[in-house]
């Protein structure tokens, strides 16, 4: 099965799919549905591969279903990546890595070039995280006009509206998006609605603050200090205190921040801490 240069590899098609690497380099990812970090890593790599318009292919091997393929290629742990060029394995990489580390790994052997639109989009995503909002809305709307079915552009608009306090607009826009990333963002709508309260608060004594005030402090750390890490630490503490408070608002806020920031080793650390608290 293929979609946007991504193949699901099985015993029935493995030889046929790997022949593709004679013409176009292929990255093989070995993953499992029962291992959450590999599922998230799979999504990250699929998104990255689709940025490069067929310059590199991705083959997905679910080791739970395709044990023979995994054994043949000597897979001992997951996630694991193998880079195949002209039909042979030229390099391999173990564990979850950031997109930059993944690109560095691939770039040892091939040079990938982004499209102008993708480069612009990636730049906008970084600017949103860093609160560099000048022209962002206009540029995203222009990209959306060119590619009306691209939900990832709409998701960045949702992020922009949340961080700039236009919560109603973010909620309205998210209703037209199927992608689950939008759901993660809007699940925390009550947290983002604290935007005005966070702007009004001058100083908060975290040691004496109640639960609601600490929620405001977490958002304040993002809006004023751009300190996402401190905000996530506060939210983790709130989850320890009472994970079910206001329909798990702290958990939803934390996952929403994960979605805004994207994949990184630091985010994976916080995901694991959240997982350990909840389960």
Mean pLDDT, residues 248-266: 93
CATH number corresponding to 2-107: 3.40.30.10
pLDDT above 70 as % of the chain: 98
Strands 57-62 and 6-8, how do they pair?
parallel
Place of tokens 């040691």: 207
Would you say residue 207 has pLDDT above 80? Answer: yes
Contact 106, 44 (CB under 8 A): no
Q: What is residue 4's predicted lDDT score, i.e. its pLDDT?
A: 65
Average pLDDT in the chain:
91
Would you say residue 225 has pLDDT above 50? Answer: yes
Q: What is residue 1's predicted lDDT score, i.e. its pLDDT?
A: 45
Q: What is residue 58's predicted lDDT score, i.e. its pLDDT?
A: 95
For the chain, the structural domain boundaries read: 2-107, 116-187, 191-278
Mean pLDDT, residues 157-169: 96
* 191-278 matches 2-107 in CATH topology: no
Least confident of 170-174, 204-208, 215-219, 256-260: 204-208
Beta bridge partners of 84: 26, 89
Q: What is the CA radius of gyration of the chain?
A: 21
Contact 263, 99 (CB under 8 A): yes
Residue 77: count other Cβ atoms within 10 Å of its Cβ: 9
Q: What is residue 134's predicted lDDT score, i.e. its pLDDT?
A: 95
Contact 37, 95 (CB under 8 A): no
Residues with Cβ within 8 Å of 198's Cβ and at least 6 positions away in sequence, in order, are: 216, 217, 219, 220, 223, 224
Would you say residue 30 has pLDDT above 90? Answer: yes
Contact 147, 169 (CB under 8 A): no
Q: How confident is the model at residue 70 (pLDDT cuts 50, 70, 90)?
A: very high
Cα separation, 103 vs 265, in Å, equals: 15
pTM, two decimals, is 0.67
Q: What is residue 189's predicted lDDT score, i.e. its pLDDT?
A: 96
Q: What is residue 230's predicted lDDT score, i.e. its pLDDT?
A: 96
Contact 176, 237 (CB under 8 A): no
Length of the chain: 279
| Domain 191-278 of CATH type 1.25.40 | yes
Give the torsion sign (CA, 69, 71, 72, 75). positive
pLDDT above 90 as % of the chain: 70
Contact 183, 153 (CB under 8 A): no
């Amino acid at each position: 099965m293929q979609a946007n240069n991504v193949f699901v590899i099985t015993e029935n098609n493995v030889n046929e799919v790997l022949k593709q690497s004679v013409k176009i380099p292929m990255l093989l990812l070995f993953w499992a549905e029962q291992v959450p970090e590999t599922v998230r890593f799979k999504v990250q790599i699929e998104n990255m591969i689709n940025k490069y318009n067929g310059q590199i292919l991705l083959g997905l091997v679910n080791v739970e279903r395709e044990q023979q393929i995994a054994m043949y290629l000597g897979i001992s742990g997951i996630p694991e990546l193998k880079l195949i060029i002209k039909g042979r394995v030229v390099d391999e990489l173990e564990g979850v890595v950031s997109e930059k580390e993944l690109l560095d790994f691939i770039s040892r052997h091939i040079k990938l070039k982004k499209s102008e639109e993708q480069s612009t989009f990636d730049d906008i995503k970084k600017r949103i995280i860093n609160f560099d909002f000048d022209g962002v809305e206009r540029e995203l709307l222009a990209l959306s006009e060119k590619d009306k079915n691209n939900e990832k552009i709409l998701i960045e608009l949702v992020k922009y509206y949340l961080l700039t306090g236009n919560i109603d607009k973010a909620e309205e826009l998210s209703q037209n998006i199927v992608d689950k990333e939008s759901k993660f963002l809007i699940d925390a709508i009550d947290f983002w609605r604290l935007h005005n309260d966070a702007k009004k608060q001058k100083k908060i004594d975290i040691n004496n603050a109640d639960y609601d005030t600490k929620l405001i402090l977490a958002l304040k750390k993002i809006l004023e200090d751009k300190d996402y890490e401190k905000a996530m630490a506060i939210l983790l503490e709130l989850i320890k205190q009472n994970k079910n408070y206001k329909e798990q608002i702290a958990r939803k806020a934390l996952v929403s921040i994960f979605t805004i920031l994207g994949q990184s080793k630091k985010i994976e650390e916080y995901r694991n801490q959240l997982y350990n608290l909840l389960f």
